[in-house]
Amino acid sequence: MRKLIDKLYKDGDLRESELLDLITNITPDDREYLFECARNKAREHYGRNVYLRGLIEISSYCKNDCYYCGLRASNKCAKRYRLDKSQILECCKTGYELGLRTFVLQGGEDMHYTDEILLDIISTIRKSYPDCAITLSLGEKDAESYQKYFDAGANRYLLRHEAYSSDLYSKLHPKNLNIETRLDCLKNLKQIGFQTGCGFMVGAPYQTYEHIVKDLRFIKDFQPEMVGIGPFLPHSDTPFGEEQAGSVSLTLTLLAVVRLLVPTVLLPATTALSTASEDGLVLGVRAGANVVMPNLSPLDVRKKYMLYDGKKSSGTESAQAIDTLKEKLETIGYEVNFSRGDNIKFAN
Ligand code: SAH
Ligand code: SF4
Could you write out the DSSP letters of every residue in 291-344? EE--B-S-GGGGGG--SSTT---SGGGBGGGHHHHHHHHHHTT-EEE-S----T
Q: What is the pLDDT of residues 140-170, one digit of tens each?
A: 999 999 999 999 999 999 999 999 999 999 9
- Contacts of 79-83 with C-beta under 8 Å, sequence gap 24+, read 79/303, 79/304, 79/306, 80/304, 81/301, 81/304, 82/58, 82/107, 82/110, 82/112, 82/113, 83/56, 83/58, 83/59, 83/297, 83/298, 83/301
pLDDT at 348: 63
Q: What is the pLDDT of residues 232-281, one digit of tens each?
A: 999 999 999 999 999 999 999 999 999 999 999 999 999 999 999 999 99
Ligand 1 centroid, distance to 6 Cα (angstroms): 33
pLDDT at 266: 98
- Which residues are CB-neighbours of 315 under 8 A, at least 6 positions away? 321, 324
pLDDT at 198: 98
The answer, yes or no, to whether any atom of ligand 2 lies below 6 A from the CB of 64, is yes
Going by C-alpha positions, the residue among 31, 6, 29 that lies closest to residue 18 is 6
Are 38 and 255 in contact by the 8 Å Cβ rule? The answer is yes
The answer, yes or no, to whether any atom of ligand 2 lies below 6 A from the CB of 66, is yes
pLDDT at 43: 98
> Candidates 141, 160, 169, 254: which one to mutate for ligand 1, based on the most atoms within 8 Å of Cβ?
160
For 85, what's the count of Cα atoms within 13 Å in the CB-facing half-sphere?
14
CA dist list (Å): 151 to 148, 194, 348: 5, 10, 19
Ligand 1 centroid, distance to 344 Cα (angstroms): 26
The letter for the amino acid at 231 is P
pLDDT at 319: 86
Residues forming beta bridges with residue 196, ordered by sequence position: 157
Kindly give the parts of the chain with pLDDT less than 70.
Answer: 348
pLDDT at 317: 84
Element at 59 (helix H, strand E): strand 54-59
